[in-house]
Amino acid sequence: MYASMKEMLLHAHKNNYAVMAINCVNMEQAKAIIQSAEEERSAVIINISPRQMKAHGHGDILAPMIRNMAEKVSVPVAFNLDHGTAMEDIVKAMQYGFSSVMIDASGCDFEENVRRTALVASLAHSQGRSCEAELGHVGLASQSDNDKVDLFTNVAQAKEFVEKTGCDCLAVAIGTAHGKYPEGFVPKLDFERLRELKEELKMPLVLHGGSGAGEENIRRVVACGINKINVCTDLFRHATNTAIQVLEKTPSIDYMDLCIEIQNAMKDFIKSYMRVIGSSGRYGFEKPEGQDLD
């Protein structure tokens, strides 16, 4: 079923697990994500950023396709605008039929972040969509300022932020970063801050920059209250590596068969991740009659 992030994340919050939010730019990825969710009986969130939409996966084309695929399965599937910074992109995403939007005004000062987030949250709610916001700032793994504590989410500010904006879930900065870390580097996360944020806010919390965080960190953030984990780089890399391996082994492979091999490899990755973060087996299996995604 096609759904907003709101109910699925409240369910995850109440039952202490996390839902994957996976960046997706084409049909093969959407199929891999939705089939994985269905087979694992898990909710899932499909993300796309404005940059990814401009570069490849146009939102006006993907939204109806994802909605159509989601309606063929019984588990909840959300389609979320990831890191919406411009109002224009957020409004367009809602017009295209996204079920959820993220307003990322984490680069602004606190007052401006509150102002923009409150506006987007009320607009999203008036249309039955959910709204994610970010406080503190999750930077890039390639930059060196990711362990700067002044970019981490401030607990007292977070309380005020949520009360003033009405956002449905909050992305927090606790030490992860976007993209690929240097070889062998594992981020050190501020679990104490995360516990305090959960205690204070009692709402769904989001971890950005899930790639390269390490399984132990991922298990611990879920135990401390993270309910949505964004993953992009690791899955894209896994898909590329699969393509390289398959082509090295069978250079004459048919294009469609190559796409299917990549799709299946993505499914393996996603399904085992869902088990780690505890979202597997949370929903019943009642396949809508006469529908098939294969």
Choose which of 31, 208, 228, 282 interacts with Zn ion (CB under 5 A). Answer: 208
Give which of 136, 131, 84 is closest to 110, Cα–Cα. Answer: 136
178 lies in the binding site for ligand G3H (CB under 6 A) = yes
Choose which of 25, 48, 120, 232 interacts with ligand G3H (CB under 6 A). Answer: 232
State the binding string over 191-210 for ligand G3H (x if CB under 6 A, else -). Answer: -----------------xxx
Q: How far is the CB of 277 from ligand G3H (least distance, A)?
A: 13
Q: What angle is formed at CA 138 by the lines to CA 192 and CA 212, rounded to 5 degrees?
A: 80
Could you give the dihedral angle defined by the CA atoms of residues 59, 65, 71 and 73, in that order, rounded to the nearest 10 degrees? -100
228 lies in the binding site for Zn ion (CB under 5 A) = no
The values of phi and psi at residue 95, to 5°, are -65, -35
State the binding string over 81-120 for ligand G3H (x if CB under 6 A, else -). Answer: -xx-------------------------------------
Is 20 within 8 Å of 226 (Cβ atoms)? no
179 binds, among Zn ion, ligand G3H, none (CB under 5 to 8 A by kind): ligand G3H
Work out whether strand 19-23 and strand 169-172 pair parallel, antiparallel, or are unpaired: unpaired
**Long-range contacts formed by 81-89: CB under 8 A, 24+ apart:** 81/47, 81/48, 81/49, 81/50, 82/21, 82/23, 82/47, 82/48, 82/49, 82/52, 82/230, 83/49, 83/50, 84/50, 84/120, 85/50, 86/50, 87/116, 87/119, 87/120, 89/50, 89/53
165 binds, among ligand G3H, Zn ion, none (CB under 5 to 8 A by kind): none
31 lies in the binding site for ligand G3H (CB under 6 A) = no
| Closer Cβ to ligand G3H, 56 or 202, answer by number | 56
Active site residue 82: yes
- Segment interacting with Zn ion (CB under 5 A) among 27-35, 37-45, 206-214, 258-266: 206-214
Rounded CA separation 134/104 (Å): 6
Q: How far is the CB of 115 from Zn ion (least distance, A)?
A: 21
| Closer Cβ to ligand G3H, 98 or 283, answer by number | 98
106 binds, among Zn ion, ligand G3H, none (CB under 5 to 8 A by kind): none
Give which of 51, 42, 8, 40 is closest to 232, Cα–Cα. Answer: 51
Is 37 within 8 Å of 43 (Cβ atoms)? yes
Is 140 within 8 Å of 179 (Cβ atoms)? yes
276 lies in the binding site for ligand G3H (CB under 6 A) = no
Residues 138-177 that bind ligand G3H (CB under 6 A): none
Choose which of 80, 153, 230, 280 interacts with ligand G3H (CB under 6 A). Answer: 230
232 binds, among Zn ion, ligand G3H, none (CB under 5 to 8 A by kind): ligand G3H
Residues at the site binding Zn ion, with contacts judged by CB under 5 A:
208, 230
Residues at the site binding ligand G3H, with contacts judged by CB under 6 A:
23, 82-83, 178-179, 208-211, 230-234
Supply the residues annotated as catalytic: 82
